[in-house]
Amino acid sequence: MKKLFHTITILLTLLSFMTTISNAQEVKTVSSVDLKKYAGIWYEIASFPQYFQKGCECTTAEYTPTDKGYVIVENKCKRDGKETSIKGKAFVEANSGNAKLKVQFFWPFTGKYWIIDLADDYSYAVVSHPNKKYLWILSRTKTMDEETYKNILSRLKEKGFDLTALQVTKQ
């Protein structure tokens, strides 16, 4: 009887854990993105720190659509006063309204690039990954007004993001 009780307790614990996982808020993208409007230079306002961006400041990303069906991505930053850059390709996921891309800097590896918030006038964008471990707040200008930034943070919290690791990028 004692074994049965322990088994049921373990099963109920696992079931509640699985329910918690399934109820975790999923990342949703914007409904559609006009890649021609999205093209151009974006300044990183804030991000979750990543090993590949360690020591970066003055970080930008430039997106250039091609007639071959992909977008050229060029990320730049300054490390120790020297500009570094990397080029890659972004491929639109089918039926995503251009809001889900797969970015490739090193073949054959790709990373998910989901546009989860976007100003109507394309003045800012927020990009993440469905696992919520990656986050970039981007702007067309080197600075973002405080009210816009706070509103973005508020929406991210509503979407279930833990923003304790978010760091403002020095431009």
The structure tokens listed for 35 are 């890649």
pLDDT in tens, the chain (171 residues): 444 333 333 333 333 333 334 335 799 999 999 999 999 999 999 999 887 788 899 999 999 999 999 999 999 999 998 999 999 999 999 999 999 999 999 888 999 999 999 999 999 999 999 999 999 999 999 999 999 999 999 999 999 999 999 999 999
Q: Give the domain ranges of the chain.
A: 35-168
Q: How far apart are CA 70 and CA 128, in angstroms?
A: 19
Q: What is the pTM of this model?
A: 0.84
Q: How far apart are CA 64 and CA 69, in angstroms?
A: 11
Q: How far apart are CA 100 and CA 130, in angstroms?
A: 10
Quick check: 161 and 130 in contact, CB under 8 A? no
The domain 35-168: what is its CATH number?
2.40.128.20
